[in-house]
Amino acid sequence: MALRRNHLDPKKTLFLLCDIQEKFRLGMPLFDNMVKNADKLTKAGKALDVPLIVTEHYPKGLGQTVAQLDVSHAKLVSDKTLFSMFTPEVKAVIKDIFNDKPKDVVLYGLETHICMEQTAIDLLEENINVYIVADCCSSRLNQDRDLALDRLRQAGCVITTSESVIFDLVRDAKNVKFDAIRKLVSQPSLDMELKRSGDGQPVGSAKL
């Protein structure tokens, strides 16, 4: 399994956007906040030429990727019934992009405790580093999301946030693409009421 935290390289990184579909909107807490954070991350990936693969779980019943997310640059938008994104079609496109596999995958979407978790485990079994973007993840219950994030951390994933990913990909304010990125991060990401592992306190809170 991949256990090592390293800097992200746009040329060795893949974005996987998991099942952010219209029919989930009413059942997911803070769905709109998640979509806005995911939009920032997806746009940054496009600006930095990070390849993107998108899945849609049973779109006939659950609809397509929400209109707020521009995924027109995706290398693949794939229907699936498998809960994991790591389908034979996705594997083939990944191999075509990287001539083997990426060093790192940035994974975001829903539901955290089902499709995201199973995707992450599949990737770890391929010795691919997995970065879970916590402020771009959702489940129908926040407790399912938070417990899944704990399990994924224990499994060897890096639990991170959209802005951490974006700035790690840029690395330097002299990067020729920083002006485009600066516009995306001019406003802070929206709160997803994440819990800190173990003590149950909201992220950013302090015990007095």
pLDDT of 203 reads 46
Angle at 168 between CA 94 and CA 98, to 5 degrees: 15
The 13-18 sheet, strands edge to edge: 76-80, 52-57, 13-18, 104-110, 129-138, 158-160
pLDDT of residue 168 exceeding 60: yes
Express as a percent the part of the chain with pLDDT over 70: 92
Give 142-161 pLDDT, tens digit per residue.
999 999 999 999 999 999 99
Express as a percent the part of the chain with pLDDT over 90: 90
Q: How high is the mean pLDDT of the chain?
A: 93
Give 44-68 pLDDT, tens digit per residue.
999 999 999 999 999 999 999 999 9
Kindly indicate the confidence band of residue 199, based on its pLDDT and cuts at 50, 70 and 90.
low
Kindly indicate the confidence band of residue 208, based on its pLDDT and cuts at 50, 70 and 90.
very low
Which token pair is 65? Answer: 């990727």
Q: Which pTM does this prediction carry?
A: 0.93
Burial 50-86 (b: 16+ CB within 10 A, else e): bbbbbbbbebeeeebbbeebebeebbbbbebeebbbb
- CB burial of residue 45 (10 Å; 0-12, 13-18, 19+): buried
pLDDT of 207 reads 41
For the annotated catalytic residues, the residue numbers are 19, 80, 115
Could you tell me which of 123, 205, 122, 111 has the C-alpha nearest to residue 149? 111
pLDDT of 204 reads 38
pLDDT of 195 reads 84
pLDDT of 5 reads 80
- Residue scoring higher pLDDT (199 or 5): 5
